[in-house]
Amino acid sequence: MKRLLLCVFAVMLSGCATGQGQPDLPYNYWYVGLSAPLYMEVWVEGVDVVDQRGLAFERVHGGTVSYSNQTAGWHMGGGKMKQVPGVDLPEIIFVRWQSLVEPQTYNVRIDIPQWVRDEMVIPQRGYCKYNKSWKTDYMKKISIGMAPGGIAKVWLGGGCSDYKEIGRFVGEIEKRGPSQGKTEGRYAWPELKPESQAYIKKNGIPYGSW
């Protein structure tokens, strides 16, 4: 626990060392997926992980995200996936992102329950709709959806199994602003795409739907 707390603290200060050997998992990597509601443009500054060994890994994912097919509410799971090799099952995930439609910068701490780690190492049999066949695979995809107001929704999925909701988390405003104050308040891009601007002008931001 002491090492975990030290590593958590170090992640927040961007300083904990990584590269402590291959974890004992039935696969070589798991995934993190990043998504946002349609038109609610997002730039992710970084995703940091503290694994179940208490080791911290910085910026395992970041940048642009995939957008769902709806704005209000959630389209469960998915997102822009990236492999996370050399990292054991996640215990805590930190995400810092720019919600460009507001604009505002948020950071959120996502505590991963034990049942998620248990599910991630049990083979699951699911039906694949794309080729109408059954497949046995692992639930090794952590999908994180980010919405205005600092809302993060998290799911577990994998193979052809249905996604399971892990939880809804509310982030805090990053007091230092975008890029932790290193860009003098400038966000990832100066203006939204025309279609996003048009949607917000007509409908506003559907706070409360996420």
Parse the chain into domains and list their residue ranges. Answer: 2-14+27-203
Q: Let me know: does 79 contact 120? Beta carbons within 8 Å.
A: no
Q: What is the pLDDT of residue 10?
A: 44
SS3 for 101-153 is: CCCEEEEEEEECCHHHHHHCCCEEEEEECCCCEEEEEECCEEEEEEECCCEEE
| β partners of residue 110 | 93
Digit-coded pLDDT (tens) for 179-199: 999 999 999 999 999 999 999
Burial class (CB in 10 A: 0-12, 13-18, 19+), 202: exposed
User: Which region holds residue 11: left if phi is over 0, alpha if psi is between -120 and 50, else beta?
Assistant: alpha
Q: Is the dihedral angle over the CA atoms 36, 101, 149, 200 positive or is it negative?
A: negative
**CA–CA dist 43, 150 (Å, integer):** 13
Q: Let me know: does 124 contact 139? Beta carbons within 8 Å.
A: yes
Pairwise pLDDT comparison (154 vs 133), residue with the higher score: 154
Computed over every residue of the chain, the mean pLDDT equals: 91
The mean pLDDT value for 69-91 works out to 95
Calculate what percentage of the chain has a pLDDT beyond 90: 81
CA count, 13 A, side-chain hemisphere, 194: 0
Q: What is the pLDDT of residue 75?
A: 86
Q: What is the pLDDT of residue 20?
A: 62
Digit-coded pLDDT (tens) for 5-21: 444 444 443 345 444 67
Please determine, for residue 94, whether its predicted confidence score (pLDDT) is greater than 90: yes
